[in-house]
Amino acid sequence: MAEKSTIQSGSPEPVAIKRIGAKYIAYLHTLFAYSAFFAALGVACYTHYHKIVQNEYFGYPDEWFPSVSATTGDRYPARAIFQILIALTSGPRFALVFLWYFYITHSAKTVSKGFGLSLLIVGIIRTVSCGGWVYITSTDDHLTHDIAMVIYLLCTLPWQVGVLYSSSYNNQTAVRWRKFLTFAFFTTLPPMIYFFIQHKVQKIPGAYTTYAFFEWSLILYDVAYDAVTAIEFQDFELFIVDKTGAALITESSVPFASNPDESISPSTLRIFALLPGFATETYLGTSLSVCLGIGPLRRLIAKYRGFFHFLSLIGVASYLKVDPVWRLSLTAIGLGVSLTTWCASWIESNKHTGDLERSALIWSLGLILHCVVKMAWYTENPIWPIMNKDNGGWNDVGIVLGIIACAEVLLRDHTVRQKTENGKDLISLSGINATSQFGSSFLAASGFGALLFALHSMFTDSSTIMRWTVDGYPNYGPEPVPWGVATIAALAFGLLLAPYRRLTTSIFWYLVGCGACVVFYSYSAWTAYYGGLVLGTYFVSIAPAIIRGISTQSPFKTLFSAFMIYNVLCLAHVWVVAYEFVPGGVYARERTDAILMVLMALTGLGVLNAHRQASLDVRKRLAQFHVLKYARSMTRLFVVGLIAISAVIASNRVSKAKTPVPYTTTEKSFTAAIWTIHFALDNDMWASENRMRDAIRDLELDVVGLLESDTMRIIMGNRDWAQSIAEELGYYVDFGPASMKHTWGCLMLSKFPILKSEHHLLPSPVGELACAIHATLDVYGQPVDFIVSHNGQDENYNDRIQQTTELARIMRTSPNPFVFLGYVVTKPRQEIYHLLFDDGDMNDIDPTDWDRWCEYIGFRGLRRIGYARISHGGITDTEIQSGKFQLVQNPKEYWTAQYNRIPETQVPTQLRYPSTFYGTGVRGHRYHVFNEPRYFEN
């Protein structure tokens, strides 16, 4: 392993006194690593077999083989043995990481120093994160253990692919082994994930044992992959140097010539000593644009895009984590990887313009398909991380389809590379070179950032532009079903126009888009919807041209600017409503008009850049991208298919929707309620509309006001969740103030026809805008008025005074029987309370209930039957308050009610509250505070 010198040298120059074969470090690493895992396995099975095969659901004999974590982290002495041996492994591991950098950048010279440094950083992070999950076990700190494990797995993909990419193809044995082990490692992940789901979600006995075998195989492949380094290091040696020159040497010993060309400066070792800390901070500050600014890394991602799309599936798989923080973090990682992969593909495929347009068209088709899928799932995407099997999610199906799609891309790209000369990419052999920079990086970035925001905020659901512009009855506007088909058709039409860049980048077409935006903002209901349709057509039509624009610019500068613009627009999009909770928010208060103007101005800059580029392409005979003919044909075929599918979905939903019928048709009674539902996400951040539906159904609510209901924004996923409740239970819907009215929303579901309604923005000089719906319903032939309102917060007392004064005015001036369902923020018998009930000429449903703070129910001109408070069941942090009422022949006689309570036995059975909610209730909902409903004589 080492040679000792025998000849004395008086030379003052540094001399090598020992040389060590680098391959032995790889051998040492492999020996320690395998010893650590398999020694721990043997000891653990011998000392605690039944304990380490036991999991949260099953034990021996259903489960009979332990997982890696149970073996290495749960029990002494196996844990100690493993940790000691892994500690011994760390030295050779770090040595291999650094030696590989020197090998690929100085010896074999297979890649640039920039790429080598990037791979070195990944290797260091990967090694350090291994220490994280080894020495912080799941028993010590489950979250930290899992974070370290996820970082390790995330780094394994770029490490293995990067090492394969930088391997010397002169050594085909090593390359073949690396390809095989990489393929084995990543094809093992899908079945491993599948069996983990079978265990964790389906709770199938024995599934975890099968999962464990796949998990252990990953260890084998991972360590073996690094062991292959020994093959490439056969002729790679290290020298131990005496800088005094006083060592014994042989004639064959080499002076300090491991750096013969002086390419390594004297300070290099000091730099590498500081590198780990610098690398970790750099990692924390990385972004999409930084990753794509590294040419070799960008080309690697584009070349092996199937691998990186596969890695992005971690965002889909995040639903397996119940903890919302974990789900959010994993989703963010998956989205980041997906965006990086798409952008890298666009930039690299710019060398072949047909591939670029094809990719842009597919990306746009994905948007339309997303809208179609959401229409089928009542505006939820079934593979989102807020979905699971209990609320209608198809997450496991999404993962399987994603794996199949990634495998197809991998195989297709591999086949293309095999058919080209010397394994070069097809794009470099196309004969079309469009890589030269043209135009302005800032203009291109402006256009792409604006485009991404426009599509995300307004066109990721077929009903968003309807809810942004909805108005009161009877001029309510289009219903999401069936008119969502028109939205999808408009987006599809824009995609058909997209290849005609001379049209889509023209000043005429831009003015059409600006005009549509003006109509969309300035009008409401149907007229605004028509403007929104044209606007959707416009933005989709310019997408390929805008993408073409960014693909010819400096990736770092352009994408950094584009995503910063997108992020600022997203923040402004939230701040128009949430201005009270953010610094400087007052300047964005209710300024959707300003956002749309900035949006169109930035879009214009991008279109100007794209127009110049299109003109240049025409002169170069590259008009319309010279796209492969089949790409446009397939686009047309898919467009027709998606429109047809959306029409079938809409027809099916219309046919299955229940006709609104009151729950109790006798006695002319009805049940009303108020509930703050916190954007249809429960306390664990799962989509909650199915649970809400069940509670509303079991309580037999005929009219219900739902507050904090506007989810038609990016941060809430553009989800019109009320569609499912309305169609499945049979309700008329009044969405309330439109999303462009800058409130958090109030919504009313009614079993009775809505004769007319008015959407109010209550006076809010300081705080956030308060909203209200004042609707007149046809209740068994009698017009009855309802108000659903959400007043401001406790911090803005003057706002709440003015808002309550306006509510009282509306109620006082109505001639009809009236029900108030609102969120007032006051204690009983305080100033705001008296403003509401006394000035509004209303009766409190239960003036003896002193325990209220937010929600209140008032009435007049009706017979009060009962009052109940029902716990939220974990859906929100706010209870349901409900009142039962009955029509009377002479409403004026019941204008002022008397408080006379009666026992439930004196109430007719059909007028009582459901008995389901007594005691412990159902699904976490129960009668609380009083633990039973209260009933009244009048």
* 3-state class (DSSP) for residue 307: helix
- Ranges of H-type helices in 579-628: 592-619
801 in Cβ contact with 773 (< 8 Å): no
Compute how many other C-beta atoms are within 10 angstroms of the C-beta atom of residue 441.
22
CA distance 194 to 578: 41
CA distance 160 to 123: 10
CA distance 926 to 903: 19
Alpha carbon 800 to its chain centroid, in Å, reads 36
Alpha carbon 204 to its chain centroid, in Å, reads 29
Using H for helix, E for strand and C for coil, what is the string for 475-531? CCCCCHHHHHHHHHHHHHHHHHHCCCHHHHCCHHHHHHHHHHHHHHHHCCHHHHHHH
CA distance 691 to 708: 16
* 3-state class (DSSP) for residue 762: strand
CA distance 728 to 648: 18
User: Is residue 482 reached through a cis peptide bond, with omega within 30 degrees of 0 on the bond before it?
Assistant: yes
Residue in 742, 759, 790, 872 annotated catalytic = 790
Q: Directed axis angle between helix 295-303 and helix 324-349, to 10°?
A: 100
712 in Cβ contact with 739 (< 8 Å): yes
Give me 352's structure tokens. 């072949």
Which string of DSSP letters, residue by residue, matches 155-170? HHHHHHHHHHHHS-TT
455 in Cβ contact with 538 (< 8 Å): no
CA distance 55 to 200: 10
**Which amino acid is it at 746?**
C
Run of H or E residues at 653? helix 629-656
CA distance 381 to 362: 19
Handedness of CA 553, 556, 562, 563 (dihedral sign): positive
Where does residue 724 rank: exposed (0-12), middle (13-18), buried (19+ CB within 10 A)? buried
* 3-state class (DSSP) for residue 929: coil
145 is catalytic: no
Query: 215: which residues sit within 8 A by CB, 6+ positions away?
Result: 67, 68, 192
Alpha carbon 338 to its chain centroid, in Å, reads 11
Catalytic residues: 790
